[in-house]
Structure 1
Amino acid sequence: MPIFNQSIRRKIVGIALGLIVLMLVTSILSMVMSSQVGVLLDELTNRYIPAYGDLARANIRSLERAVALRRMVMMKMQSPTDEEAYAARLREFEEADRKIEEEAERARRLINAIIDDPRTPSDNAALARIEIRIDTAVSELRRDQNEDHARLLKQIDAKQMIDARNTLEHIDLLRDQFNQKIDAIRADMLKQVFVSTSQVISHQQKAIIVSGIVTLLAAVVGFVFALLVSSGITRPVRLLLAGTREVEAGRFDKPITVSTQDEIGELAAAFNRMIEQLRHNERIRETFGRYIDPKVVQGLIDRPEVAIDGQRRVMTIMFCDMSGFTSMSEGMTPRGLVKVMNHYFTVMSAPVRSNRGVIDKYIGDAIMAYWGPPFIEGDEPALLAGLAAIEMAEQVPALQKQLPDLLGIRAMPVPCDLRIGIATGEVLTGSIGSELMMSFTVMGDAVNLASRLEAVNKVYGTRILIAQATADAIGERLELREIDRLAVAGQSAPQAIFEVLGRAGALTEAQASLRKHYADGLAAYRACRFAEAGAAFNAALEAVPGDGPSRALLGRIAQFEANPPEAGWDGAWRLEQK
């Protein structure tokens, strides 16, 4: 509808103007009806009732005339005749006679005025008959009584009292007939008064009813009009509110229907454009989330200066590699290899993300991840990295069973396993690359150390090795075993490295015995008590047969027995190869 395409200001002004018009129409109609009632009431008050009163007074004047006539007769019958009193009574008689005609004439004029007034619905035919009857009654009274009055006066002067009495009785008879006619006319006039009164009451009731109906109709029309217009305003607002809640909930697939062309319609159109842009941005974010960790994406969006300027932070770095990958990949088709690697990365990435880690990149079959600010604060990063490593190691048995099914073979040609290295230290975080392409990553000695520790697992036959700083941060919240003091390639100062055995309190008796015997053997080994150290390492192998670190240290002891270390040896082992 055109009205809903107007601006909100015009809608509100239109509602106000519409209500004002309805109020004016109601007021005008009420005034017209009231004026009609006023006309009828004025006619009743100033014409009907006065005309009826004039007729009533005409009756009274006829009685006064009869009384004056008798007094005149009485004055004539006195002896001697009181001429002065007779003259006075004659004047009263004539005055009463004149007033009868005046009252009748006034009544006739009022009745004619009612007939001539076109504004009132009077019974003009009945009123005309009443007017004629008044004129006839007065004319007949005048005609008949004038003769009797003259005869009566002559009879009184001639002292013909019997004849005068008969004439007087005839005059009374004429008077009674006149009064009867006037009474009949008054009765008919009273009916007209009642009719007029009924009309006044009827018109007044109609005016009240019509005013009430019009007022009610105006209220209903105004309410419906206001409801339609207000719904045209509130409905888009409710839709906009619902759309806002959908956006707040992260759902961008429900645009708002634009049903108006006012300011709210423009707002709804702008909201739809915003939703489309948010949907587009969300697709971009989801796409980037497949290549860059979502935490990094969100961090770059929220704090782009971090990516531009770079910062030095203490973080915990993890490198995870699949052992035997090279041999396993040689016998696979490219499609099979991609399928295996995607499944491997999916399984191994889940523990990292569930423990709030950030996956930096996939390098061949290796995973690089890190923990630290601004994603994690305090001393939690090292513990979370250790927990993630434990959970990744727990996935290995299931993964070893799943890979053959993925490839459609009965058994893998080479068994797969994990090697995980974790180190903690200060690194540089920021966007590294060229002007054409950049990557948000971390760099520093801790990154190199974690990578070296991952490879060192091959030397000791372990799965999870962590550096000294990481072990210090973890404390007793995980079960650790010191493996050796080691200087990896690229480092001159050796440091202790530890194996993560499991969660706190989760060691078996065999593992506890292994850790104790290994610690005794390691202390004797560093003190160059190689025989004692060999016995302890063999005891450790009895607790857990095939323990890689014990076998590695026994191998070194055999070398040192043939070629003892130099004097002042610090008990550390140095790797020259990466």
Structure 2
Amino acid sequence: MPIFNQSIRRKIVGIALGLIVLMLVTSILSMVMSSQVGILLDELTNRYIPAYSHLARANIRSLERALALRRMVMARMEAPSDEEAHAARLRDFEALDRNFEQEAEAARKLINAIIDDPRTYSDNAALARLDVRIESAVTELRRDLDEGNAKLLKQVEAKDMAAARGTLERLDTLRDAFNRKVDAIRADMLTQVYFSTSQVISRQHQAIIVSGVVTLLAAIVGFVFALLVSSGITRPVRLLLAGTREVEAGRFDKPITVSTQDEIGELAAAFNRMIEQLRRNERIRETFGRYIDPKVVQGLIDRPEVAIDGERRVMTILFCDMSGFTSMSEGMTPRGLVKVMNHYFTVMSAPIRNHRGIIDKYIGDAIMSYWGPPFIEEDEQALLAGLAAVEMTDQVPALQKQLPDLLGIRAMPAPCDLRIGIATGEVLTGSIGSELMMSFTVMGDAVNLASRLEAVNKVYGTRILISQATADGIGSRLELREIDRLAVAGQSAPQAIFEVMARPGALSDAQQTLRTHYAEGLVAYRARRFDEARAAFNAALEAVPGDGPSRTMLGRIAQFAADPPDPDWDGVWRLEQK
């Protein structure tokens, strides 16, 4: 409807104007009805009742006239005759005679005024008959009284008292007949008064009823109109509220139906555009969540200043690499290589994310990830990184079985295994790159050390090597073995490195014996007791044949036998190659 397509301001103004119009109509109708009642009441009080009063006074005037006539006769019959009193009584009689006619004439004028007034309803025929009856009664009475009065005055002058008494009796008879006629006219006039009164009361009741009905209709019409208009306002608001709750719950697939063209309709349209933008942003976030860790995306959204300014934090860095990848990839088609790598990254990324780590990037066949604030507490990061590394190595046997099936071959052309390096230290976090492309990453010595430790696994034949700071953070919550004191390329300060052997309490008896003999050999090795160290490392190899670190240390002892270390040798092994 066109009215619902108006602005809210026009709707509200329209409701107000509509209610004002209905109020005015009701008021005007009430005024018209009240004015009609007023006209009827005015006619009743100023015409009907005064006309009836004039007829009643006409009756009284006839009685007073008869009394004045008798007084005049009595004054004339006195002896000696009092002329002066007789003249006074005659003047009184003539005055009452005129008053009698005036009252009757006044009643007739009022009756004719009622008949002539077109604004009121009255029984004009009955009133006309009353007018004729009054005129006829007065005319007959006037004619008979004039004759009787003249005759009576002559008889009084002639002192014929017997004849005068007869004439008086005849005049009384005429007066009584006139009074009866006037009483009948008054009774009919009273009926008209009652009729007019009933008209006033009826019109008054009618005015009250009509005013009440019109007021009720105006209220109903106004309420319905206001309800329709307000529903046109509140319904979109409720839809908008429901849509807002859907958005608050993270559901962006329910746009709002735009049913009006007012400000709320414009707001609903803007809300739909916002939902579409949020849906697009969510798709972008989901898409980029495959390229950038979702927690990093959310963190940058919550604290964009971190990406701009950068922060220094203590974090734990993990590097993971697939050994044998180069020789394995040489015999694969690009499609097969992508298929293998995607599966490999999927399998190895799951433990990192399951332990709340952040995957920073994939580099060839390597994975770089990190743990630290604000994503996790600082005292948890080393343990979570270690647990993720253990779980990643647990996936290797299954992965070695799955890769041939993925490639459609019976056996892999080269064995594959996992090397993991973990280091804990202060790094710089922030967006690094050019103005055209940025990457939120971590940089620092701890990153370099983790990368070097991943490569050092090749030297010692291990899978998981961690730094001293990481080992301190883990404590006894994982089974660790100190491997060596090492100074990697690019770092002059040596530090102890450790191997993560298993979850707490998961070491076998052979592994326990291995760790004990290896620790004894390491102490003797650093003290230059190479024969004792050789015996300990051989004992470790007996416990776990093929132990990479033991074999590495035996190789060094053999090298020192041919070329002893310097007198100031501190037991640190320095790697010159990355």
Shared fold (TM-score greater than 0.5)? yes
What secondary structure, in the 3-state scheme, does the structure 1 residue paired with 2:290 have?
A: helix
Task: Give the match for residue 494 of structure 2.
Answer: 494
Contact 2:104–2:138 under 8 Å retained in 1: yes
Amino acid at match of 1:32: V
Amino acid at match of 1:322: M
Task: Give the match for residue 528 of structure 1.
Answer: 528
Query: Relative to structure 2, which stretch is displaced further, 199-208 or 413-422?
Result: 413-422
Task: Give the match for residue 245 of structure 1.
Answer: 245
Q: 1:337 to 1:84 in 2, by over 3 A?
A: same
Tell me by how many angstroms 1:502 deviates: 4.2
Deviations 1:87-109 (A, max 9, x none): 43333333322222111100001
Unaligned 5+ segments in structure 1 are: none
Counterpart mapping for 1:154-165 below 5 A: 154-165=154-165
CA distance in structure 2 between the partners assigned to 1:395 and 1:177 by the alignment: 140
Query: Relative to structure 2, which stretch is displaced further, 38-47 or 553-562?
Result: 553-562
Tell me by how many angstroms 1:156 deviates: 4.2
What secondary structure, in the 3-state scheme, does the structure 1 residue paired with 2:570 have?
A: coil
What secondary structure, in the 3-state scheme, does the structure 2 residue paired with 1:3 have?
A: helix
Task: Give the match for residue 213 of structure 1.
Answer: 213
Contact 2:489–2:575 under 8 Å retained in 1: yes
Task: Give the match for residue 144 of structure 1.
Answer: 144
Task: Give the match for residue 465 of structure 2.
Answer: 465
What secondary structure, in the 3-state scheme, does the structure 2 residue paired with 1:485 have?
A: strand
Query: Relative to structure 2, which stretch is displaced further, 277-286 or 410-419?
Result: 410-419
CA distance in structure 1 between the partners assigned to 2:43 and 2:100 by the alignment: 24
CA distance in structure 2 between the partners assigned to 1:541 and 1:96 by the alignment: 163
Deviations 1:61-99 (A, max 9, x none): 122222223333444554544444444333333332222
Count of aligned residue pairs for this structure pair? 578
What secondary structure, in the 3-state scheme, does the structure 2 residue paired with 1:291 have?
A: coil
CA distance in structure 1 between the partners assigned to 2:26 and 2:86 by the alignment: 69
CA distance in structure 1 between the partners assigned to 2:278 and 2:553 by the alignment: 59
CA distance in structure 2 between the partners assigned to 1:188 and 1:545 by the alignment: 144
Tell me by how many angstroms 1:360 deviates: 1.8
Tell me by how many angstroms 1:151 deviates: 3.0
CA distance in structure 2 between the partners assigned to 1:400 and 1:60 by the alignment: 140
CA distance in structure 1 between the partners assigned to 2:64 and 2:248 by the alignment: 103
Amino acid at match of 2:352: V
Tell me by how many angstroms 1:259 deviates: 3.1
Task: Give the match for residue 381 of structure 2.
Answer: 381
Task: Give the match for residue 9 of structure 1.
Answer: 9
Query: Relative to structure 2, which stretch is displaced further, 564-573 or 140-149?
Result: 564-573
CA distance in structure 2 between the partners assigned to 1:406 and 1:191 by the alignment: 119
CA distance in structure 2 between the partners assigned to 1:405 and 1:36 by the alignment: 105
Counterpart mapping for 1:34-113 below 5 A: 34-113=34-113
| TM-score of the aligned structures, taking structure 1 as reference length | 0.88
Query: Relative to structure 2, which stretch is displaced further, 284-293 or 319-328?
Result: 319-328
Tell me by how many angstroms 1:405 deviates: 5.7
Tell me by how many angstroms 1:282 deviates: 3.1
2:354 paired with 1:354: yes
Tell me by how many angstroms 1:422 deviates: 0.6
Tell me by how many angstroms 1:218 deviates: 2.4
CA distance in structure 2 between the partners assigned to 1:119 and 1:559 by the alignment: 139
What secondary structure, in the 3-state scheme, does the structure 1 residue paired with 2:254 have?
A: coil
Amino acid at match of 1:195: F
Tell me by how many angstroms 1:512 deviates: 4.8
2:269 paired with 1:260: no
| TM-score of the aligned structures, taking structure 2 as reference length | 0.88
Deviations 1:13-60 (A, max 9, x none): 333332222222222222222111111111111111000101111111
CA distance in structure 1 between the partners assigned to 2:168 and 2:506 by the alignment: 150
Task: Give the match for residue 235 of structure 2.
Answer: 235
Percent identity between the two aligned chains:
85
CA distance in structure 2 between the partners assigned to 1:562 and 1:67 by the alignment: 179
Q: 1:50 to 1:557 in 2, by over 3 A?
A: same
Query: Relative to structure 2, which stretch is displaced further, 465-474 or 329-338?
Result: 329-338
Deviations 1:229-260 (A, max 9, x none): 33333333333333333333333333333333
Query: Relative to structure 2, which stretch is displaced further, 423-432 or 302-311?
Result: 302-311
CA distance in structure 1 between the partners assigned to 2:202 and 2:21 by the alignment: 28
Tell me by how many angstroms 1:389 deviates: 1.8
Counterpart mapping for 1:529-544 below 5 A: 529-537=529-537, 540=540
What secondary structure, in the 3-state scheme, does the structure 2 residue paired with 1:361 have?
A: strand
Tell me by how many angstroms 1:133 deviates: 0.8
Query: Relative to structure 2, which stretch is displaced further, 107-116 or 63-72?
Result: 63-72
Q: 1:58 to 1:510 in 2, by over 3 A?
A: farther
What secondary structure, in the 3-state scheme, does the structure 2 residue paired with 1:290 have?
A: coil
Task: Give the match for residue 421 of structure 1.
Answer: 421
Query: Relative to structure 2, which stretch is displaced further, 107-116 or 170-179?
Result: 170-179
Task: Give the match for residue 187 of structure 1.
Answer: 187
What secondary structure, in the 3-state scheme, does the structure 2 residue paired with 1:250 have?
A: coil
Tell me by how many angstroms 1:281 deviates: 3.2
RMSD between superposed Cα atoms in Å: 3.3
2:516 paired with 1:519: no
Q: 1:415 to 1:170 in 2, by over 3 A?
A: farther
Tell me by how many angstroms 1:470 deviates: 1.9
Task: Give the match for residue 32 of structure 2.
Answer: 32
Tell me by how many angstroms 1:182 deviates: 1.0
Q: 1:224 to 1:547 in 2, by over 3 A?
A: same
Task: Give the match for residue 317 of structure 1.
Answer: 317
CA distance in structure 1 between the partners assigned to 2:511 and 2:46 by the alignment: 126
Contact 2:315–2:378 under 8 Å retained in 1: no
Counterpart mapping for 1:354-373 below 5 A: 354-373=354-373
